[in-house]
Structure 1
């Protein structure tokens, strides 16, 4: 004897602003009916529709603010919002965790160039090109790091509490997206971290590195630096001048200036 099919329930969803980027074109910026069975959580349904929970900051069910564990029973109207910058939501259930006091990051395997840029700007950034998704999620959780990725599925993992989907494809555009989203402009400490391993860079005396520096470099360079973790040696170079040429106008837009005392290391 065959079982009778379960009767489906329906609710109405509406996603706002950039959350629409995760939806099929036909469902963007409109209200639509969504079918489900049982009494799933609203988080389950939101992620089933393609939107990772890390991008959601407010859910209203029939006009009432709810958390991710709210169960749907059919007939509800669900409005889903990203982060608000201009409205006072003190009386509502904001769903994103409180911002980390000292933002630090872990990046998925496809963001190696972005990891280098973030480190050059002094931002604590972990990256490996062989990290499996499960380990990435656990590192983000255990070390209170923000997981940056273009993999929506990775952000849907329950272990991920702080994360961000990067919409930009090119590394420099991704860098600007991260700096803007997390308001990091005043936290930059240029050339204070190793681009290779994320360790701290400190100045060393010229005499102490004479034996390991190429003679032509040693002849014209006066400032040298060493990573305190991997011991990689740096000195000032033209590629850092190029970074300054690109970044300095952006700093000025935010009321900041390039630190005059900053020495730009080169590997």
Structure 2
């Protein structure tokens, strides 16, 4: 007779489970397996998990299931100390890496002052490797990507709308007090610094050279920025994003 381990999932982890599922979920234990492997086999990526308790005791992902275990699985919370049992601590300032489907979100994160790696040609294996090497948080709409073993931190974006996506990330990682606008290039994620007008004059359209005196340049791709109409539009976007902060 196959033993079944009862699993109780909590909070937004239900986003990964079949609708109308009832708790406890009976996980069939055919062979010795870790609680991490069981959780992902049920459908929940390990990066979405913040705490696991077996018989009321906190355990790590490597815990080996055995009858008569009862497992409770809780969602990730940035301020929850139990997270550290499951993965290395994540130091601030947070850095992100996004999959190819989240270009608009990448732009909003950079605009708000967050180091955000995004390349349209990056494949899942590359994203996972960069995330592990550079200690970046993976943001994706692909649940499968979040199941890569070497990824420690990540989040599955629920919404398909860019500003709602931004709000999800800001709420999950408590970013609202960490905005530092206009520090990263929207095009390439390089650092932006103030640049003397004469050093960028050859890169400016004639109207910008005539009407403006203060300029900023990306240290990586050399793109030049100034406070024209596009700047006013970006300010409006930032104000709108900030206004979303209550109610996380």
Give the TM-score, by structure 1 length: 0.83
Secondary structure of 2:86's aligned partner: coil
Which of 24, 32, 35 is equivalent to 1:31? Answer: 24
Structure 1 residues 144-163: aligned runs within 5 Å = 144-163=135-154
The equivalences for 1:167-206 within 5 A come to 167-206=158-197
TM-score (norm 2): 0.89
Q: In structure 1, what is the Cα distance between the partners aligned to 2:102 and 2:78?
A: 27
CA displacement at 1:253 relative to structure 2 = 7.6
Q: Post-superposition shift, 1:107? A: 0.9
Map 1:114-153 → 2, pairs under 5 A: 114-153=105-144
Q: Which 5+ residue runs of structure 1 have no aligned equivalent?
A: 1-6, 256-267
Please give the per-residue CA displacement for 1:192-246, whole angstroms capped at 9, x wherever unaligned: 1111111111122223333332112322223211111111111223333233224
Is 2:185 aligned against 1:211? no
- Whether the aligned pair in 2 keeps the contact of 1:58 and 1:80 (CA below 8 Å) is yes
Distance 2:47 2:167 in 1: 19
Query: Is residue 99 of structure 2 the alignment partner of residue 105 of structure 1?
Result: no
Matching residue within 49, 63, 66 for 1:70: 63
User: How many residues align structurally?
Assistant: 246
Q: Distance between the aligned counterparts of 1:183 and 1:204, measured in 2?
A: 32
Structure label with greater radius of gyration: 1
Within 5 Å, which residues of 2 pair with 1:26-105? 26-27=20-21, 30-83=23-76, 94-105=85-96
| Residue in structure 1 matched with residue 228 of structure 2 by the alignment | 237
Cα deviation 1:14-47 (Å, max 9, x = unaligned): 100111110001325x222222311111110100
What displacement does 1:85 show?
A: 7.4
Give the deviation of 1:173 after TM superposition. 1.1
Post-superposition Cα deviations, 1:102-133, rounded to whole Å, max 9, x if no partner, equal 21111111111111111112211111111111
Q: Residue 13 of structure 1 corresponds to which residue in structure 2?
A: 7
> How far, CA to CA, are the matches of 2:123 and 2:108 in structure 1?
22
Measured in 1, the distance between the counterparts of 2:147 and 2:220 equals 33
CA contact (8 A) 2:195 2:217 kept: yes
